[in-house]
Chain A
């Protein structure tokens, strides 16, 4: 294994990783549309994800308008409301977050951070994007078919998902949704193979696993998980398509729908739920682990301090990834499955809390005695810690089976998962964009606009989702377009209106962010190659933005881990990973 040589100045030949035969496009189409360059694919992925994410955002406004001011917006019928929540949920979780973290950041950062010229299978990588785009288009198409998109909830539980009592259930809505998911999974698998094999196979010389930035660890582990978890959704979707189109009874029991006996019989909705959550729970971590990794790097760079407990952080990522495959049924405590499963799944769920908590501690401890630059990426990282701590802790309510009984399927759940897998990862995405935009474009994002965007988003999102827990605690169920019920002793209407106003304001701030993205492309301050003075390899490219092939003639050689900040005795407060550097006796407390 890592046999350390003490002679950094020994004559080192260029990296031994066999240089990949890079496809060199000759046409305009090959360069700008069907590009096989991971950096370009990353931008295509992110752009598409953000575009569809905006649809999800607009849907959330419509939902909040209805919840905050019921009865005013006639066009938001219950049918429409259910279609909105379903499309909003699915878009946000799959087509925005999964796509942007893995397809976007994964594609951009993995090759640069491990010192590769590109992904190992560039053509497959390109196909991945086009299939993703197709999946998005199929999804969007369902808005325009008769009957509209499906309103089955993002969980798509049968039997209702394919019956006439649910919007889109007997129309094309549900079919398009299932087809789109199947396409997404196929496309993702193509990309995912690239991310995994690139990390395994194309690391440059000296880049051992333990020298990789945590960003790569997070994305890598999340991709492995996604490759193993998405097939469960695939299987569920295929079987449901058969039930819907060809009359099989995989998930469909004998039932009488609105007085009419259907020809189904014998199937089990619970089987679907098991398959769905076998995917669904790891999915939470598929968006969380990349966020964990990225935020670790943001904190370390902007606090000028190595990440505290790097090894623990790596282990925690791997352990969380593995454990998250045996907790899925905590989403099914009240589903009618065998009650004794509750003991097992509550225990595993709370065990996962331990490595997760360690990660939070280590982020905060990294700040301890740091040299904290309150740049925009750092602000977003701090906001992430707050939001994630909040959402993670409410997860302990829902994981603890008996406490979940009154809370499940209430707005408490909605508040919880928005904090933990909605707002928290999105904050990291923003932080990451502020952080890497200079590398991608050569220009800094505008600071003033960024500050406004940050404060409105952070405080606003907290103001949306913190009070929402109490709406759920009162007992208001989720997926209710309006609520009047005798159990509500203190009316929640005022609180709901407040939440809705906050949601509109937060949404508006995102428009400012998008404007900033475009505006700074031209008018931003020139950034230089390494504006944050960061160690990791992506900042050491010969060109900014990096060109096709990333590294010029020779691949970089790595001499150290990615966190040599403020090393005692070093002339500067960072030493780049590919810097053989002066020999420094590190006097490290062990």
Chain B
């Protein structure tokens, strides 16, 4: 009796908590509303299944509790029921998987008009690099890293000269333009994570990873690191400023290029290419 009641309360409590609790995701600021919808579909399906299973369980516990003279049924199996349940479950699973895979397809297909922005992680700060007037990022590698070339941009690649380097500052993005975020790390794994954008991806030293999104809302969004990278992991923060195009252009005009950073001293050629 009491057990069944508590199970009932547990389901009710969970549902009520879900419906009225103020804790929910942050308002979205990117085009990935589809991800949110898939998540909501999943919440509905799984929520219903959970409630159904536990309520049925509660009913059984109440209805078939031991009483003097009670004898259990003898029923080793019931093929029809089992097949039916298997089919129903498969349909439910497919109903979650199909939209998920469709959205994943979009997630991994970068639109051709997306502009590249590079994010570089290191213990424990973020830097950014924008492609400059030629629209191309120059080659890079950790063996070019030096005091005045912290991101390891190749001094030999002419595409890199006009790259805009943002070290320690915020990343600015124009609203409504798809961006391909190219991710690089100079030391350990990091993960570029802005909760409002929903998308995230690890940055792996030695390789370049990416994801894409379109900012749909202006404002200031905090960047966190979502892959354990050592003691300072939780304190590795920065901001993304999503701005109207004009503001963005103004900001861009004030930034330094790789070439100008190098000018004070002659370009240091690293020992090994």
* A adjacent to B, CB under 8 Å: yes
Q: Is the CB of B3 within 8 A of A486?
A: no
Closest Cβ of chain A: how far from B22's Cβ, in Å? 4
What A residues does B71 contact at CB under 8 A? 304, 371, 566, 573
Q: Which of the candidate stretches B56-64, B249-257, B261-269 sits at the interface with the other chain? A: B56-64
A369 pairs with B24, CB closer than 8 A: no
Roughly how many angstroms separate A339 CA and B221 CA in the complex, as a whole number?
A: 26
> Which residues on A sit within 8 Å (CB–CB) of B3?
374, 379, 382
Q: Does A58 contact B (CB under 8 A)?
A: no
Q: Are A312 and B77 in contact (CB under 8 A)?
A: yes
Closest A residue, CB atoms, query B225:
A477
Closest to B7 in A: A386
Given contacts A308-B75, A354-B93, A368-B64, contact A82 B204 (CB under 8 A): no
Question: Are A396 and B46 touching (Cβ within 8 A)?
Answer: yes
* A382 CA to B10 CA, complexed, in Å: 13
Of A347, A351, A475, A479, most B-chain CB atoms within 10 Å: A475
B72 to chain A, nearest CB (A): 4
Q: Judge whether B191 is part of the interface by a CB distance below 8 angstroms.
A: yes
Instruction: Point out which of B22, B76, B90 has the most chain A C-beta atoms below 10 A from its C-beta.
Output: B76
B198 proximal to A (CB < 8 A): yes
> Whole-angstrom distance from the CB of B193 to the nearest CB of chain A?
7
Q: Kindly specify which of A255-263, A429-437, A529-537 makes contact with the partner chain.
A: A255-263
In the assembled complex, the Cα of A362 lies from the Cα of B86 at a distance in Å of 11
Q: Type the 1/0 row for A326-347, where 1 means its CB is closer than 8 Å to any CB of B.
A: 0000000011100110110011
How many chain A residues sit at the interface, stated as a range, is 35 or more
Residues on A with beta carbons closer than 8 Å to the beta carbon of B113: none
How distant is A90 from chain B, measured CB to nearest CB, in Å? 14
In the complex the two chains form, is A159's CB within 8 Å of B187's CB?
yes
A483-521 vs B, Cβ < 8 Å mask (1 yes, 0 no): 101111110100100000000000000000000000000
Contact B25 A406 (CB under 8 A): yes
The interface residues of chain A lying within 8 Å CB-to-CB of B189 are 157, 159-160, 269
B216 at the interface (CB under 8 A from A): no
Would A488 and B90 count as touching, CB distance under 8 A?
no
Q: A479 vs B228: C-alpha distance in the bound complex, in angstroms?
A: 7
Contacts of B196 in A (CB 8 A): 487
> Chain A contacts of B133 at CB under 8 A?
none
Contacts of B57 in A (CB 8 A): 364, 367, 382, 385-386
| B 80-135 contacts with A by CB, 8 A | 81-82, 85-86, 89-90, 93, 96-97, 100-101, 103-105, 107-108, 122-124
A431-467 vs B: 1/0 string, CB under 8 Å?
Answer: 0000000000000000000000000000100100011
- Besides the contacts A343-B104, A346-B101, A486-B222, what 20 more A-B pairs have beta carbons closer than 8 Å? A163-B230, A167-B231, A258-B123, A269-B189, A336-B204, A336-B209, A342-B104, A357-B85, A365-B81, A367-B57, A368-B60, A370-B73, A371-B66, A400-B96, A409-B226, A467-B23, A474-B195, A486-B220, A563-B76, A568-B74
